[in-house]
Amino acid sequence: MRKQTLNDLASRAGDRIVVRVDFNVPLKDGRVADDTRIERTLPTLRRLTASGARLVLLSHLGRPGGRPRPEASLRPVVARLGELLGERVRFSPETTGPEALAGARALAPGEILVAENTRFLAGETRNDPELAAAFAALGKHFVNDAFGTAHRAHASTAGLALAMRAGGGEAVAGLLLEREIRFLGDALEDPGRPFVAVLGGAKVSDKIAVIEKMLARADRLLVGGAMANTFFRALGLETGRSLVDEEGVELAVRLMDRAGDRMMLPVDCVVARRIGPDATTREVPRTGIGAEDRVGDIGSASRRMFGDELEQARTIVWNGPMGVCEMSPFAGGTVAVARSAAAATASGALTIAGGGDSAAAVRAAGLTDGFAHVSTGGGASLAFLAGKPLPGVEALSDAQATPRRPAGE
């Protein structure tokens, strides 16, 4: 981390601090269906409130399109946060403006106020500077603990950090954001060897920057998911009615030529005539995919092959499922990879699961504790692994260089 963190925050008891969190969580029947992202922010919130800070929390939820939508309100999130903290959490139905400001000023030391969904405001996703300044008016300092939005330059992330700094405040990374950057950075900059990258998902073209980055650093690159179908097509194999990234076929050819034997593709597949939760499946070698087949998962031989590589690894970075893992007939490959990675963790490997579908698959398999780190940000972790700048991090206050002591001291 070359940015300031909570350890650098020169706040005093009673200071109002604006904290950007990522409470973009699934809701069901008016309640939070998965509170993982909320729980991951608790260490930052507890540390700040224990110091007597008064916290104003900002978050988005869903994609309401820049206008209020009742189904995207943060009210259910506030209720769950209060349950997890074991104390009352206040709520402002306004995100900015007189009511939100009055609510912030009324906070007692150690209290928390959550403002309404930032994406109810049209200027949020445009990184509107006036909106960023309005967010900054809610507090004296800014803490960004929303890694899941760090790859976006929005008013409540990058814009708010710059506005707070321009007004004389500090903009620092929270404990969650710091942890994300440190784990991903260590995996890329100084990985234990062998370093194995596992990539799944749909499109080769969507992950080209990540693939190229991994080819430059990893000892092995294991490819699964629908992405593997595109490589099959590049090899001249039948892919039936499977999802193929047609624009990525030529790209796949070039990547295989560059990677040589460092890239490993599935040798067999689970196929069906249709992809569904009650599909009838069969397992075939990759040369045996029929014209009417749809590939939904990697097969048992591929799971063993991938598992052997993961068992020997000292660093594992995984981004993307091995198949349509939300449906039980096609979940076996993803679960097998998760178990192999967890076994590697137990043997001392550094294992990191990217956010989004990878994190969801790890949680569904009950293996979250089997990884060294499970990221909270799918798009952000993908951008980081691709070597792209993260605007939400770039805008934070720079870390101060430690002065060198004169020789002899």
Asked if 379 is an active-site residue, the reply is: yes
Asked if 274 is an active-site residue, the reply is: no
Residue 351: inside a domain: yes
d(CA 74, CA 27): 10
d(CA 103, CA 109): 13
Structural domains of the chain, count: 2
Cβ atoms of 221 and 259 within 8 Å: the answer is yes
| Of the residues 133, 153, 178, the one at which a domain ends | 178
Domain identity same for 36 and 161: yes
Give pLDDT, residue 1.
65
Domain identity same for 270 and 319: yes
Which range marks the domain in which residue 35 is found? Answer: 6-178
Asked if 356 is an active-site residue, the reply is: yes
Give pLDDT, residue 222.
97
Residue 387: inside a domain: no
Catalytic residue among 37, 40, 207, 213: 37
Domain identity same for 207 and 164: no
Domain identity same for 145 and 64: yes
Rg (CA), the chain: 23
Cβ atoms of 270 and 332 within 8 Å: the answer is yes
Domain identity same for 262 and 305: yes
Query: Residue 409 is which amino acid?
Result: E
Neighbours of 201 (CB within 10 A): 25
Give pLDDT, residue 201.
82
Residue 134: inside a domain: yes
Give pLDDT, residue 402.
52
Domain identity same for 22 and 166: yes
What is 70-135 written as a DSSP string? GGG-SHHHHHHHHHHHTS--EEES-SSSHHHHHHHHTPPTT-EEEE--GGGSTTTTTT-HHHHHHH
For 166, residues 6+ apart whose C-beta sits below 8 A from its C-beta are: none
Residue 269: inside a domain: yes
| Of the residues 143, 178, 213, the one at which a domain ends | 178
Q: What is the pTM of this model?
A: 0.88
Catalytic residue among 139, 354, 356, 392: 356
Domain identity same for 96 and 149: yes
Cβ atoms of 221 and 261 within 8 Å: the answer is no
Residue 24: inside a domain: yes
Query: Residue 307 is which amino acid?
Result: G
Give pLDDT, residue 409.
37
Residue 127: inside a domain: yes
Domain identity same for 149 and 228: no
Domain identity same for 309 and 215: yes
Q: List residues bridging with 398 in a β-sheet.
A: 3
Give pLDDT, residue 401.
61
Domain identity same for 61 and 144: yes
d(CA 282, CA 272): 7
Give pLDDT, residue 209.
84
Give, for all 409 residues of the chain, the pLDDT tens digit.
689 999 999 878 899 999 999 999 999 999 999 999 999 999 999 999 999 999 999 999 999 999 999 999 999 999 999 999 999 999 999 999 999 999 999 999 999 999 999 999 999 999 999 999 999 999 999 999 999 999 999 999 999 999 999 999 999 999 999 999 999 988 888 899 999 999 998 778 778 888 888 998 999 999 999 999 999 999 999 999 999 999 899 999 999 999 999 999 999 999 999 999 999 999 999 999 999 999 999 999 999 999 999 999 999 999 889 999 989 999 999 999 999 999 999 999 999 998 777 888 888 888 889 999 998 888 888 888 888 899 999 999 999 865 444 444 3
| Terminal C-alpha separation, the chain | 27
Domain identity same for 198 and 228: yes
How is the chain split among helix, strand and coil, in percent rounded to 5? 45, 15, 40
Asked if 28 is an active-site residue, the reply is: no
Residue 133: inside a domain: yes
Residue 389: inside a domain: no
| DSSP H or E segment with residue 252 | helix 249-259
In terms of C-beta density within 10 A (0-12 exposed, 13-18 middle, 19 or more buried), how is residue 65 classed? exposed
Cβ atoms of 164 and 282 within 8 Å: the answer is no
Catalytic residue among 203, 217, 273, 339: 203
Domain identity same for 150 and 203: no
Question: Which CATH number characterizes residue 136's domain?
Answer: 3.40.50.1260
Strand arrangement of the beta sheet that strand 373-374 belongs to: 263-264, 220-223, 195-199, 315-319, 350-353, 373-374
Catalytic residue among 62, 273, 379, 388: 379
- For 205, list phi and psi in degrees, rounded to 5: -65, -30
| Of the residues 144, 178, 212, the one at which a domain ends | 178
